[in-house]
Amino acid sequence: LQVLGSSLSSKSVSSWKSALEKLEEIPDSKIQEILRISYDSLEDDHDKNLFLDIVCLFIGKDRDYTTTILDGCDFYTTIGIENLVGRSLLIINEKNKLMMHQMIRDMGQEIIRQESSDIGKRSRLWHKNAFDVIREKIGSRTVKCLTLDLKGLLEDKAKRTNTTLHFPKHSKSQFLMSNDVDMETQAFAKMKRLKLLQLDYVRLKGDFKDFPKRLRWLRWRGFCMQSFPVDFDMNEIVVLDMRNSKLKQVWKDTECLPNLKILNLNHSHSLLKTPTFSGLPSLEKLMLKDCINLVEVDQSIGELKLLTFLNLKDCTSLRHLPRTIGSLISLEELILSGCSRLDDVPRELHNMESLKVLNLDETAIYQSRLGLHWLLLKRSKGLGFSWASLPSSLVKLSLESCKLSNDVMPNDLCNLASLKSLNLSRNPIHYLPESLKNLTKLEELLLTSCTELQMIPKLSVLLNVSECKFIFGDNSPFRGSGINNVPCFFSSTRCVIFGCEKLTEVEDLFKLEPIENFEAEEIRRLFNVDSINGNRLQLYSYLTDSIMLATPQVLQERGITSTFVVGSEIPIWFKHGTNEHRISFFLPTPAHPDEKIHWFSLCIVFSLASDQMSEFLPCVHIFNETKTIMLRYRSSFIGIPQTNDKTMLWLIHWPVTDFQFEGGDLVSCMVVPMHLSIRKFGVTYESKHNIKYEYGFSHLSTGDEVSTRHIKMDQTKHLLSLESYGNTKVQFCSYIEESKMVASPQVLYDYGIITTFDPVPFDYSGYYYGHQAGKTEVSISVPPNSSQNISCFLNSIIIFSAKNDKTYGFLPCLEIVNETKGTKWTYSKHFMGIPETKNTLYWTTCWNFRGDELEAGDHVSLRVLSDLSVLEFGIDLFLLEVFVYILSKSHKNLYRLQSLVKC
């Protein structure tokens, strides 16, 4: 219907009626005839021929690559492709590839078959038909396109006959037809109009004087000759693809190919030198990847004024590049990765004003001290290297695995003002230059496995960490965790630091110092302990996903100071203690009216409940229940006890600001997640009036604590008890499989929405201000928010029951409407918790809205649609996600299901 509708678009009513009448005459079994209506509706032969060429050769190919080839065949490819897409005969996917429904492709191939019963007189030939035409020499002037992959053809035949063929990697060109198959160049003599030719792994005998001379595209992978025959006329060729060839030299003499735009010689292991380029004035892309015996790039490469792409990756025998390479004024991407013997890059590189991407991974440019010597503008003990001569146009620079050390690390990067991506991974650098902060456009900094790296400077752009979704891997505990204590450093810059096991400081993020750097008196002031054992222990870093072995370290991050030490007892002067993960207490009435709490100290005695460190995300909350203020701290490190039954102390010194905590306030402190086995938990505090010491430490600044009002913790407490239900079970229903299952309470997470189903009642009254009993629709207005950029979290609770134990055909669905803005979100799942007969089930959800989706004053309503009986329904809006804590659970327990559709 889509294809037919597209073909009749903008047609008159009479044309629609005529097409429908024609459609009624065609039986359902002849679907290709129905699809052909759209093909026949193409307005000219140009688009029809373009469609048939794409059907035969270019499905799955890059659109730009295809356009280059077909433009050379006198097509108006750009507008033609748009016409085919408009008729729903062609699809351009998200990777810019040409795609087509198999039935439409079959229809196109059938059109070609119907041209003639004599296969040699058809315009386009592929696979078995192409093989037969060449072997039997029955081709004609009609043939415009021929494609044959002999290796693939015989592999398919082998599968049908249960025969196994083995083709060694990088030895495909050794595969030739058996001697009883006679294929000669003379078979092409009559194909005078042939323009598109694919002969993968085909061996031809004979001369090429009568070979088609109008070829525009030649793909001959596995070409077995050492050079092209001198009588092979390729004057009109546009794209030449000779991957996996046996070529030692492409042409014996200088060849003039004025129209050649793409030359691909990848994986030609016998190639010793490049061809002379003086006869290739139109060349735009040159690929020489994995030409492992290539030792020379011809000086004439500098004459390629239109060249935009040059790939020399893994040319392991290449030692030098010609100085003329600096004359490539149009070159945008130069790939030299894996050229392990390349120890010098010409100084003329700085003349390439169009160069945007430079990859020097795994080259030897720093091993001999000769590489990039021309970059040294002024050498002195204090200045080191300067990269001021690198092209200022560079957007991406990769120096991975170059053995780059600090004595050759540039101190000046100001000339690379356009740089967006910098890859320094797997280099023995100890620190990064301060000038890194001048790269204001930097979006990606890759430092993977820089095992000697100790410090990263602050970047210049202050960014929002909530947007930093790519620093952490798919299994990292930080993903979706609502981190709020990571500062601006990782905000819009994708900084990957996994494997940097010695990293002890990221400016404005954290600093790790040996405890011996501090005076004993300072340690007592910070942690209220007389002494700390100096034995070596293991620290795991979540940011680098690595473990370091060291003496106890003092960690300073976001104004909070902490340390991990071996131990099992809380100091006796801690004012409050418990054996649980949560402790609550009232602050005493102060002796002086102006006396305020100045800091808290926490001591947590814990052991590990699992050997999988990736499951842990240490987090501590301090919640003023009287003022509804919450502070939370997520540590970037955690100490690792020697064994799971051994314990460790986590000591935290946490300054707070005035008026956050006062006498008479009810305070709750809590450790999450539950993956830590909490043995003991102690809290003490001190008021500003009673402080006896002046600290003078910059890490005691309190300007960055995260405080959030209007949040209630009782539901959080309930959610955190999900793992302690024991034998409690919930019934789940699958709409897809029309079946039920019984399991422990689960946390469902997808599209940013968190859902729980819970049979255990809890007191939610007063925490859902939009609460209304017995209603299926409730509403709330978004209150004013002093923080303009904070996310909003809309939480709902639905209490429902089932009348009987049937499998419900219509599972509960939530609909949220912003009535002020006229936007609507619908949330439906094919996997839901269902209450047992006459019992109740608590369905709680948390939605994360960002930007201007919900703003102050907006009127929001929720409606639940369900066959189940809704007993009570409530919603509320928070500035902090009530449910966020459960995201630190192992992703093995998070089910990613179904859809959130924004209308």
Summarize pLDDT for 789-819 with one digit per residue, the tens: 445 677 777 777 776 655 454 556 788 888 8
SS (H, E, C) 374-421: HHCCCCCCCCCEECCCCCCCCCEEECCCCCCCCCCCEEECCCCCCCCE
Which residue pairs from 306-311 have beta carbons closer than 8 angstroms and sit at least 24 positions apart in sequence?
306/281, 306/282, 306/330, 307/283, 307/331, 308/284, 308/332, 308/333, 308/354, 309/284, 309/285, 309/333, 310/286, 310/334, 310/335, 311/266, 311/286, 311/287, 311/335
Q: Which of 241-255, 732-746, 755-769 is most confident?
A: 241-255
Find out whether 272 and 253 touch, Cβ atoms under 8 Å: no
Q: Is the pLDDT of residue 697 over 60?
A: no
Strand duo 597-608 + 648-655: pairing: antiparallel
Residue 446 CA to residue 498 CA, distance in Å, equals 9
SS3 at position 495 = strand
Q: Is the dihedral of CA 490, 493, 494, 496 positive or negative?
A: negative
Mean per-residue pLDDT of the chain:
76
Residue 365 CA to residue 372 CA, distance in Å, equals 7
Q: Is the pLDDT of residue 281 over 70?
A: yes
Summarize pLDDT for 130-186 with one digit per residue, the tens: 999 999 999 999 999 999 999 888 887 777 666 555 554 444 334 444 434 568 999
Compare 684 and 757 and report the one with higher pLDDT.
684
Q: Is the pLDDT of residue 263 over 50?
A: yes
Full DSSP string of 761-807: ----TTS-TT-EET-SEEEEEPPP-S-SS--EEEEEEEEEEBSSSPP
Q: Range with the lowest mean pLDDT among 109-113, 436-440, 566-570?
A: 436-440
Q: Range with the lowest mean pLDDT among 449-458, 515-524, 569-578, 756-765?
A: 756-765
Summarize pLDDT for 759-792 with one digit per residue, the tens: 755 555 444 545 555 677 888 887 765 444 445 6
pLDDT at 163: 53
pTM (whole model) above 0.85: no
Q: At what angle do helices 102-113 and 31-40 cross, to 10 degrees?
A: 80
Contacts of residue 159, Cβ cutoff 8 Å, sequence gap at least 6:
none
Taking 3-state DSSP, the helix, strand and coil percentages for the chain, each rounded to the nearest 5, stand at: 20, 25, 55
Q: Is the pLDDT of residue 233 over 90?
A: yes
Find out whether 49 and 19 touch, Cβ atoms under 8 Å: no
| Burial group, residue 592, by CB count within 10 angstroms (0-12, 13-18, 19+) | exposed
Local confidence band at 726 (pLDDT 50, 70, 90 cut-offs): very low
Among all chains, which residue has been given the structure tokens 């938990």? 681
Q: Is the pLDDT of residue 576 over 50?
A: yes
Q: Is the pLDDT of residue 13 over 90?
A: no
Residue 741 CA to residue 834 CA, distance in Å, equals 10
Residue 483 CA to residue 490 CA, distance in Å, equals 12
Compare 409 and 169 and report the one with higher pLDDT.
409
Q: What are phi and psi of 722, to 5 degrees?
A: -55, -35
Q: Is the pLDDT of residue 586 over 50?
A: yes
Local confidence band at 44 (pLDDT 50, 70, 90 cut-offs): confident
Find out whether 481 and 888 touch, Cβ atoms under 8 Å: yes
Mean pLDDT of 220-248: 95
Q: Letter for the amino acid at 663? A: G
* Cα atoms found within 13 Å of the Cα of residue 807, Cβ hemisphere only: 12
Strand duo 357-359 + 385-386: pairing: unpaired
Residue 534 CA to residue 538 CA, distance in Å, equals 12
Q: Is the pLDDT of residue 26 over 80?
A: no
Compare 612 and 421 and report the one with higher pLDDT.
421
pLDDT at 382: 32
Burial letters for 732-760: b for 16+ Cβ neighbours within 10 Å, e otherwise?
Answer: bbbbeeeeeeeeebbbbbbeebbbbbbbe
Residue 826 CA to residue 828 CA, distance in Å, equals 7
Summarize pLDDT for 53-85 with one digit per residue, the tens: 999 999 999 999 999 999 999 999 999 999 999
Tell which phi-psi region holds residue 453, choosing left (phi > 0), alpha (psi between -120 and 50) or beta: beta
Mean pLDDT of 225-248: 95
pLDDT at 743: 62
Compare 278 and 758 and report the one with higher pLDDT.
278
Find out whether 710 and 628 touch, Cβ atoms under 8 Å: yes
Q: Is the pLDDT of residue 210 over 80?
A: yes
In the DSSP assignment, the letter for residue 192 is: T
Mean pLDDT of 539-559: 87
Compare 116 and 519 and report the one with higher pLDDT.
116
What percentage of the chain exceeds 90 in pLDDT?
A: 35
pLDDT at 617: 67
Residue 396 CA to residue 441 CA, distance in Å, equals 11
Mean pLDDT of 532-540: 78
pLDDT at 2: 54
Local confidence band at 427 (pLDDT 50, 70, 90 cut-offs): very high
Q: Is the pLDDT of residue 624 over 60?
A: yes
Residue 674 CA to residue 867 CA, distance in Å, equals 36
Compare 464 and 523 and report the one with higher pLDDT.
523
Summarize pLDDT for 876-895 with one digit per residue, the tens: 766 543 333 333 333 333 33
Q: Which of 267-281, 660-674, 744-758 is most confident?
A: 267-281
* Cα atoms found within 13 Å of the Cα of residue 251, Cβ hemisphere only: 18
Mean pLDDT of 347-370: 82
Longest Cα–Cα distance in the chain? 108
Among all chains, which residue has been given the structure tokens 């005076």? 519
Summarize pLDDT for 395-405 with one digit per residue, the tens: 999 999 988 88
Q: Is the pLDDT of residue 200 over 90?
A: yes
Find out whether 816 and 887 touch, Cβ atoms under 8 Å: no
CATH number 1.10.10 given to 2-114: yes
Alpha-carbon distances, residue 198 vs 56, 495, 803 (angstroms): 11, 44, 68
Q: Tell me the residue length of the chain.
A: 903
Mean pLDDT of 235-240: 96
Q: Is the dihedral of CA 371, 372, 378, 379 positive or negative?
A: negative
pLDDT at 760: 59
Cα–Cα–Cα angle for 493, 482, 546, nearest 5°? 65
End-to-end CA, the chain: 24
pLDDT at 774: 61
Q: Is the pLDDT of residue 219 over 90?
A: yes
pLDDT at 750: 56
